[in-house]
Chains A and B, each alone.
Chain A
Amino acid sequence: MIRARKLAKSFGERRVFADVDLDLDRGELLLVTGPNGSGKTTLLRVLAGLAAPSAGELTLPPRQTVGYLGHAPLVYRELTPLENLTLFGRLYRIPERRERIGMLLERFGLWEVRHERVATFSRGMQQRLGLCRTLLHEPGVLILDEPANALDRDGLELLQAVLEDRRRAVAVATHDPASVEGLATARLAFA
């Protein structure tokens, strides 16, 4: 689903990463590790199609099959969870949108607060909503940048279930690889 050869990214004179080779197919999980500023986020943005590589070959799936969760949950804080997911559900042309949104909100423990503004949520609840948005269109490829951010124990269990679902290809960047180590089929460590 994702294939990269000699992939490189630079911002002006500053080289972020270079010579990255990777293949990511359905059922595989790529674990990207490294300290702050090492290029994890930039790599994930390139793999999500949000930034162009500076050099190398890159084959990406169609953008509607990609689910991307960045550092922020990427939801509107002044809208409710229901309004956020309805907006993105429409833009992603999801059939039976209401049922899908209801199921996700139930699963991630947000059904009771579906009519409340996201701005009133804790960071962990916002992250749960971010995961709902990412999974809304049942993406074949998941790109997750520090997805465990601010999640409590229940949230981490929900995330674990998402990562264990082998119907997708998953790329995860994290500072704390221990939680995902057992699931990873490939590793990429930035220095």
Chain B
Amino acid sequence: MTYVADVGALARKDLLLELRAKETLPSMLVFVVATFAIFHFALPHGTRHVAALGLLWVALLFTALLALTRAFVAEREEGLFDALVLAPCDRSAIWLGKSLAVLAFLVAAEVVALPAFGAFFSGVDARTVGAVALADVGICAVGTLLGAMAVAGRARELLLPLLFLPLAVPIVVGGVGASAGAGGRYLLFLAFYDAVFGLLSWAAFEYVVAEA
């Protein structure tokens, strides 16, 4: 129960910070809708639905990257990792709280993004929504861990995409696969990715925040 309370307090803190600063979510919304608008005019008329779905996944991935890049800004600018890691709570609670907050931003952005995609291209079915939900979990789990790693580096804004995008390839494969037809198999693949990388990220965070 204490662990859950710690995670809740840390996630609530991040949601409060965003509510006050209003920096991450508005930029995610503008980015994802602008991306769809650009694709809408850039692609030839009558582009196939499958190609549009591919664009949906690329747009969602880069929108998530925006949130992940800003996830540890407060901790980085104020040196707050020191205060958090000295607290006697389990350090993985810091990762889980941050992941949940990023997940909340991502879901909020997708509540706008998916209807916008429908308006610019074509509607999405339940399989695609399910795939997006599963992909969100994997993106947040892996991205938050890598965000914490990147924050310690000098070229952090460059480092995060370099670390994250290769690990996100399976998410795009699973997402496009689930959206484009062979749903069940790819949904299972996404769930498997979430379980494996979620567990690895949870276990690895302790070592990521420990300074050598």
Contact = CB atoms under 8 A, between A and B. Distances in A.
A78 B20 CA distance: 7
Given A70-B79, A87-B9, A90-B9, A76 B17 contact: yes
B86 interface: yes
Interface of A is mostly: loop
A78 B9 contact: no
Contacts of A83: 13, 16
B88 interface: yes
Nearest to A65: B88
Given A52-B212, A76-B74, A91 B20 contact: no
Contact of B82 (A50, A90, A92): A50
A77 to B, nearest CB: 6
Contacts of A48: 82, 86
A87 B211 contact: no
Nearest to B21: A78
Interface in A58-101: 62-64, 66, 68, 70-79, 83, 87-88, 90-93
A92 to B, nearest CB: 6
A107 to B, nearest CB: 20
Interface residues of A, number: 30
Contacts of B210: 52
A51 B86 CA distance: 11
Contacts of B88: 62-64, 91-93
A133 B83 contact: yes
A87 B86 contact: no
Contact of B78 (A63, A72, A88, A93): A72
Contacts of B2: 93
A61 to B, nearest CB: 12
Given A72-B78, A117-B20, 6 more contacts: A45-B82, A63-B87, A73-B78, A79-B13, A79-B17, A91-B88
12 contacts: A66-B86, A68-B83, A71-B79, A74-B79, A75-B83, A78-B17, A83-B13, A90-B5, A90-B9, A91-B87, A92-B87, A117-B20
